[in-house]
Amino acid sequence: MLNKIDHQNETQLAGFEMIATRKEGGVLFAEIAAPPMNLLGPELVRDLVSLIQQAEADDSVHVLVFKSADPDYFISHVDVTRIAEYGGLAAKLTGEPSLATVFRYLSASRLVTIAQIEGRVRGVGSEFVLACDMRFAAHDSAIFGQPEAGFGLIPGTGATQHLTRLMGRGRAIEVLLGAEDYDAQMAERYGWINRALPAAELGDFVQSLAHRIASFPAFGLSVIKERVNAVALAPAEDFRHDSSLFLDCVRKPEAQNRIKAAMKRGFQTREAEMVLPRMLDDLAS
């Protein structure tokens, strides 16, 4: 790992409401801050699309690191009250009104992406970090979950594709159907993340790795990533299909009823979602 990092030429990108950026050499650090709980709403989608576009257009950026300003929530999940607003924003990056294609675009990008995870990352938040090339998490605070089955939904932005390839069939089905939370140690054991680290060590580890990768020839990085994707990244059509199925499920009366019941129990509030799996247990009552 590199021990000395040049901070003299730090720069920032502008024009974001929900993301703060800092550029150090070939590494761009992006910190998500979308109060009150880092829901993936239209404003954050807009900023992520713009960030990806700007980072790709800058040939000096080789590695993009995502982290959260909120210690309790990395990206909590999609804002279910605003799903209809995402399509046009997504289309600005991919030409298609689908978050699934935005996330797959990120996976296929020349940029090497790293998620530095503290706090809860569920649903589309989990799918976002799965779209990143690497995931490192604080073992004392990071929590992972795919709660969609509890609402009568399926993951719509890539979890089925990624988790099945990372975990194998049995564990992926357990995660997707069980809709439980997993701490960082179990996520590491299952292959959800690269590794879990003490919170005090996480930032330094990710920064050092990011700068090490960024110091290597860019052509080699992009070719290696392309060849790994040829083996492990599902075709775009599979992501489109999952997205379409998710929208079909959202329209079903039982899913709508469960979402309404969850909102009455505090869904999409910081306090209630600390124990989201237990809320799912009560939705049928």
Tens of pLDDT, residues 148-195 = 999 999 999 999 999 999 999 999 999 999 999 999 999 999 999 999
Write down the pLDDT at residue 12.
66
User: Tell me, what DSSP letter sits at residue 36?
Assistant: T
Please compute the mean of the pLDDT values over residues 120-136 and round it to a whole number. Answer: 98
**Position 4 pLDDT exceeds 90:** no
Write down the pLDDT at residue 13.
73
Please compute the mean of the pLDDT values over residues 222-248 and round it to a whole number. Answer: 97
Question: Can you read off the two tokens belonging to residue 143?
Answer: 């929590």
CATH superfamily of 19-281: 2-enoyl-CoA Hydratase; Chain A, domain 1 (3.90.226.10)
Spell 242-278 as b/e; 16+ CB within 10 A means b: bbeebeebbeeeebeebbebbeeeebbebeebeebbe
**Secondary structure element (H or E) that encloses residue 40, with its range:** none
Cα–Cα separations (whole angstroms), residue 50 to 12, 91, 166: 14, 12, 29
Please compute the mean of the pLDDT values over residues 196-209 and round it to a whole number. Answer: 98
Domain ranges of the chain: 19-281
Please compute the mean of the pLDDT values over residues 99-117 and round it to a whole number. Answer: 98
Cα–Cα separations (whole angstroms), residue 8 to 14, 22, 204, 210: 19, 12, 18, 17
- Percent of the chain beyond pLDDT 90? 93
Q: Which of 22, 3, 2, 25 is nearest to 12 (CA)?
A: 22
**Position 81 pLDDT exceeds 80:** yes
pLDDT band at 66 (very low <50, low <70, confident <90, very high): very high
**Position 8 pLDDT exceeds 70:** no
Give CA–CA dist 161/284, Å, rounded. 28
List beta partners, residue 116: 136
Q: Which of 109, 135, 265 is nearest to 202 (CA)?
A: 135
Please compute the mean of the pLDDT values over residues 210-234 and round it to a whole number. Answer: 98
Contact (Cβ atoms closer than 8 angstroms) between residue 103 and residue 173: no
Write down the pLDDT at residue 10.
57
**Position 6 pLDDT exceeds 70:** no
Mean pLDDT of the chain: 95
Write down the pLDDT at residue 11.
61
Contact (Cβ atoms closer than 8 angstroms) between residue 145 and residue 276: yes
Count CB neighbours of 15 within 10 A.
11
Write down the pLDDT at residue 244.
97
